[in-house]
């Protein structure tokens, strides 16, 4: 999570470390502009907190200024042959939805990171490809599960501002050398509580965007970011 200028929170996706765990960067020169009440790893619902902390998948920042939770996650990949798809959809998705709902009882939530799913056809460079149902991140089951999360009260920030734009991706296969040709997927998201776009919260989403020119030379993902007004 990168803290930007005063009264603006920029939230970046997890760094692509060797173990793909979540890393959060908070520049020291910006910290005095914000009030962070707490920071914890894993899901804060025992015993889930420790279970998810073992894989380093979740960090939650509790901000008092602006008054919201920022949950940064690296969602489990369904894996080769979709071997982890049941765990990812039946366990992870269930627990994360419950965790976010619990946080929202107190204040708005921004949930962001590598979600490992390309939700819409516009998020896939080749949406008609026959192999999509066999590949992690593009199956109908995964895409429907993401829709269910949005139906539960979260808003895809990028699509809120850019509902039909195509060709804006956050992942490109290095092995296939896809980035120069922009053959990619949008796997990284900024999701926010509905109250952050309908005026019901004092913290409102001002923008959500993709920082496409970052990590072009050494990473297969690029960051996503958001700004909020409060």
Task: Write out the binding residues for Mg(2+).
Answer: 114, 116, 220-221
What is the reported pLDDT for 89?
96
Q: Give residue-wise pLDDT tens across range 35-83.
A: 888 888 887 665 556 666 777 889 999 999 899 999 999 999 999 999 9
Check whether the bond before 220 is cis (ω within 30° of 0): no
Which is higher by pLDDT, 226 or 19?
Answer: 226
Q: What is the 3-state secondary structure (H, E, C) of 44-83?
A: CCCCHHHHHHCCCCEEEEEEEECCEEEEEEECCCCCHHHC
What is the set of active-site residues? 74, 114, 221
| Structural domains present in the chain | 2-229 (3.60.10.10)
Query: What single-letter DSSP state applies at residue 215?
Result: S
| CA 97, chain centre distance (Å) | 13
Average of per-residue pLDDT across 161-183: 95
State yes or no: pLDDT of 19 exceeds 50.
Answer: no
Global pTM value: 0.85
């Amino acid at each position: 999570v990168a803290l930007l200028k005063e009264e603006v929170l920029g939230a970046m996706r997890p760094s692509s470390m060797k173990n793909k765990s979540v890393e959060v960067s908070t520049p020291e020169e910006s910290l005095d502009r914000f009030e962070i009440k707490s920071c914890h790893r894993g899901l804060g619902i025992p015993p889930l907190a420790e279970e998810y902390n073992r894989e380093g998948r979740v960090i939650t920042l509790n901000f008092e200024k602006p008054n919201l939770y920022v949950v940064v996650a690296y969602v489990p990949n369904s894996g080769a042959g979709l071997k982890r798809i049941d765990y990812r959809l039946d366990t992870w998705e269930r627990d994360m939805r419950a965790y976010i709902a619990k946080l929202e009882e107190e204040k708005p939530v921004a949930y962001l990171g590598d979600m490992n799913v390309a939700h819409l056809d516009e998020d896939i460079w080749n949406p008609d490809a026959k192999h999509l149902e066999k590949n992690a991140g593009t199956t109908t089951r995964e895409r429907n599960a993401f829709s269910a999360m949005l139906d539960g009260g979260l808003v895809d920030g990028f699509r809120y501002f850019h509902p039909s734009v195509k060709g804006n991706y956050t992942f490109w296969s290095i092995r296939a050398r896809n980035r120069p040709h922009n053959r990619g997927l949008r796997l990284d998201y900024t999701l926010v509580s509905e109250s952050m776009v309908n005026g019901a919260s004092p913290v409102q989403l001002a923008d959500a965007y993709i920082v496409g020119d970052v990590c072009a030379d050494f990473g297969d993902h690029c960051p996503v970011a958001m700004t909020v007004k409060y």
